[in-house]
Amino acid sequence: MRRQFPRRFARIPGVSVGVVGADGAGKTTLVAGLTRLLNYKLDAKRFYLGQQKSSRSQRWLLFLQKKVTRIGKSGLLVRKIRDVDCMRLRYSEFKRCRQLVKKGGLAVIDRYPLRELRGLPAGMDSPKLAGKGVLGFFEMLFADRISAYPDLLIVISAPLPSLLGRDGTNPEVRADKAAAIEQLLSGDLPVKCLVLDGTSEPNELVDAAHRFVWEETASQS
């Protein structure tokens, strides 16, 4: 019988890698492939900071919203509570990410909520209530706690025609988010950033991201 040995990870300071891009640009595919490659030698885990729709509380609130609307009452209040709960869940995921980084792990974070991507008409995973009312206050409270920059940033940029040809959200939302990404790239970012062409093959994107993260983490160790 083959003897089992514990895995020995390379020793590096904890690092967080944020991945942003418009819907359909290939963020989730990149995060999955990058985490798989990094996990051979590093304690790497993937995190998702988008809307946590599959959680138990979100499913229950969605069920309640539909019931309230069906009996002729407005489900607006329940929807607002869902928005606050969604931001709370994202903050909980962010805390788990920071705990891994403090222990010397590497966190690869899908849909990192940068401040520069807030305020869009469609919203780039930004606070839906915009700080209005008591519920809006609590939603913004959670949002502000996950607005710190990651140690490394990967931006996937893709032309709008290529995004519109993929399944997913409506064209107006994709156009808003694609414009926000281009505006983000036009400014100066306070972190090391890698810009990838979303029209390239997924394997090429993963390889480029893997080299970037590995070189940057090696230089910090």
Mean pLDDT in the chain?
A: 80
- Residues 57-82 have pLDDT tens digits of 877 777 787 777 766 566 778 888 88
d(CA 56, CA 22): 27
Q: Where does the chain have alpha helices with state H?
A: 27-38, 56-70, 76-102, 133-144, 160-164, 171-186, 202-220
Q: What is the mean pLDDT of residues 140-152?
A: 84
Q: If pLDDT is split at 50, 70 and 90, which confidence band does 221 have?
A: low
Q: What is the CA radius of gyration of the chain?
A: 19
Q: What is the mean pLDDT of residues 163-187?
A: 74
Q: Is the pLDDT of residue 220 over 50?
A: yes
Rounded to 10 degrees, the C-alpha dihedral 182/186/192/194 comes to 40
Predicted pLDDT of residue 4: 40
Which of 44-48, 92-96, 133-137 is the least confident region? 133-137
Predicted pLDDT of residue 188: 83
Q: Is the pLDDT of residue 95 over 50?
A: yes
d(CA 61, CA 83): 10
For residue 15, give the H/E element and its range.
strand 15-21
> pTM to 2 decimals?
0.82
Show the domains of the chain with their CATH numbers.
Answer: 15-220 (3.40.50.300)
